[in-house]
Amino acid sequence: MTSLFLINILLAITWAAITGSFSEINLLFGFVLGFGGLYLIREQAGTVAYFSRFGKAIGLALVFVRELILSAWRVARIVTRPKIDLEPGIIAYPLTVDRDFEITMLANLITLTPGTLSVDVSEDRKTLYVHCIDVPDPQATIDDIKNVFERKILEVFR
């Protein structure tokens, strides 16, 4: 429940930020609204426990912004080549993380980072299928992901 409360605070702050007035009345109102918002998703809110690691999430976010810029740059380089010859492929990435939220984060990060795009997660949640825009060596890509993102995610959420 504490986590719920936490995220509610978070929503209240978001509200205040959006409306641009941090007066207590507005925060209070934001809290009420946030409560309303959470009420809608009370069933799914089991996952909110992870928000307790809010701090580390910031760090992760930074990494991920950097990666995003890189990947965008890479796309730019690819598409501006006079002749595009790539070896795309869909690889099966064996997941270590097993919680919905972790999987989700990982999948999103992968999508937003260079040359990879999560297509699907296997029913047993053991495998993440990733489309790579250019995979001369699939294993290299897999390791790359393992060492950069999955590790980060694990240390953020465990």
Partner 1 sequence: MRTIIFRTIAPYLSALMVLFSVFVLLRGHNEPGGGFIGGLIAASALAIFGIACGVASVRRAIVFHPMSISAFGLFIGALAGIPSFFLGQAFMTSQWLTFYLGEVEVALSTPLVFDIGVYLVVVGSISSIALALEEREAD
Partner 2 sequence: MIAVVEIITGVMLVAGALFAFVASLGLLRLKDVYMRMHAASKAGTLGSGVMLLALAVYALDLAVATRAIAGVVFFLLTAPIAAHLLAKAAYAAGYRPCADTKKDALEEVFRPKS
Residues 60-99, one symbol each (x = binds partner 1 by CB under 8 A, - = not), give: ----------------------------------------
Q: Does 47 bind partner 1 (CB under 8 A)?
A: yes
Part of the chain binding partner 1 (CB under 8 A), chosen from 56-64, 71-79, 104-112, 139-147 = 104-112
Name beta bridge partners: 93.
128
Q: Is 68 exposed, middle or buried (0-12, 13-18, 19+ CB in 10 A)?
A: middle
Nearest-approach distance from CB 62 to partner 1, in angstroms = 20
* Nearest-angstrom CA–CA distance, 103 and 95: 8
Side-chain-side CA neighbours of residue 109 (13 Å): 24
Query: How many Cβ atoms are within 10 Å of 101's Cβ, its own excluded?
Result: 16
Residue 1 touches which of partner 2, partner 1, none (Cβ within 5-8 Å per kind): none
Structure-block tokens of residue 113: 């980072």
Tell me: does residue 62 bind partner 2 (CB under 8 A). no
Yes or no: say if 20 and 4 are a contact pair by the CB < 8 Å rule: no
Q: State the residues that interact with partner 2 by CB under 8 A.
A: 14, 17-21, 68-69, 71-72, 75-76, 78-80, 84-92, 107-112, 114-115, 117-120, 122, 129, 131, 133, 135, 138
